[in-house]
Amino acid sequence: MFGLLFIIIVGIAIIFYEPKLNKKSTVSSKKLAEKIDKLWDIAQDSIKNNKYLRAEKALLTILRVDERNANAYNRLGIIYAKQKAYKDAIECFEIAQSLEPSASSLHNAGLIYLETDNLEKAALAFEQAMTMESTVPSRHIAYAKVLQKLGRDEKAIKSFEKAVELDRSVQSLRILLDAYEKVDDKEKASQVKAEIDKMLTPKNIKSSIVASQHSSSQVQFKLPSRNIAQPVYKRHK
């Protein structure tokens, strides 16, 4: 009898106490999210203004409370790369990739490998990035530059041509022109040069500026997602 009464009382207590726990948990989660949002704002603003130490501190603080935040590792890697701390940058990009595989992490790692002349690893990173996301012209251009350094000119030109297919701009055409000139393909170089000259006529320049302004008005920049957990990364001294 008393045992049954005890169970009923405990059951009632749990029913009434559980919402309080959930409410407390919700408030705690909200405060954590607000703290991370504020730190992201600090990091983004600091990177924009080249205040790398401040940005680094903000990102490391994010990682102390949100240990699996791949975007924070990616940003940290970019900061270290800008300061030529390539070993730290690569480590950050590799951690980001292990937490949340993305073409961006692979591309960033590829750029560091290219910068440090680790060409085979750079080629592999760009190939993997393009497998995940093949419609970004800069990936094909970066991959082509690696191939040029490796002496694979024919394959490099195909990659430059793919970049131009995706973005037929004066800038990408000039890169392709340079590639044709390096292999002494005068006919194709002449064709590309003529196309560039045509695009640079006053009428086409004006149209290009208007199109660019219209396009930029449609773009909405967003902070990286606050996905959240792996040991906190510490920079090597």
CATH of the domain at 60: 1.25.40.10
Q: Are 189 and 180 in contact (CB under 8 A)?
A: yes
Please tell me the total count of domains within the chain.
2
Residue 81 covered by a domain? yes
Q: Supply the range of the domain harboring residue 78.
A: 24-133
- Say yes or no: 75 and 40 in one domain: yes
Give the containing element (helix H, strand E) for 24.
Answer: helix 2-48
Residue 202 covered by a domain: yes
Are residue 58 and residue 124 in the same domain, yes or no? Answer: yes
Contact 132, 106 (CB under 8 A): yes
Proportion of the chain above pLDDT 70, given as a percent: 73
Domain check: are 100 and 191 in the same one?
A: no
pTM beyond 0.75 = no
Tell whether 35 is covered by a domain: yes
Q: Is the pLDDT of residue 110 over 70?
A: yes
Beta-strand (E) ranges in the chain?
A: none
Answer yes or no: do 42 and 97 share one domain: yes
pLDDT band at 205 (very low <50, low <70, confident <90, very high): low
Q: With beta carbons less than 8 A apart as the criterion, state whether 175 and 160 touch.
A: yes
Residue 149, domain member (yes or no): no
The HSE-up count of residue 37 (CA atoms within 13 Å, CB side) is 7
* Per-residue pLDDT at 201: 83
Question: Same domain, yes or no, for 84 and 169?
Answer: no
Predicted pLDDT at 214:
38
Please report whether residue 140 resides in a domain. no
Asked whether residue 33 falls in the same domain as residue 113, the answer is yes
Asked whether residue 220 is assigned to any structural domain, the reply reads no
Alpha-carbon span 116 to 88, nearest angstrom: 13
The pLDDT value given to residue 30: 81
121 and 168 part of one domain: no
Cβ atoms of 143 and 161 within 8 Å: the answer is no
Q: Is residue 198 part of a domain?
A: yes
pLDDT at 26: 62
Does residue 105 sit in the same domain as residue 189? Answer: no
- Span 209-220, mean pLDDT? 37
Q: Is residue 10 part of a domain?
A: no
Q: Write the CB contacts of 61 (distance below 8 Å, at least 6 apart in sequence).
A: 39
Rounded distance between C-alpha atoms, residue 182 and residue 26, angstroms: 62
Q: How far apart (Å, rounded) are the C-alpha atoms in residues 144 and 150?
A: 10
Pick 134 or 219 by higher pLDDT.
134
Provide mean pLDDT across the span 195-213. Answer: 66
Contact between residue 74 and residue 93 where contact means Cβ atoms under 8 Å apart: yes
For residues 114 and 181, state if they share a domain. no
What 3-state DSSP class applies to 84?
coil
pLDDT tops 60 at residue 20: no
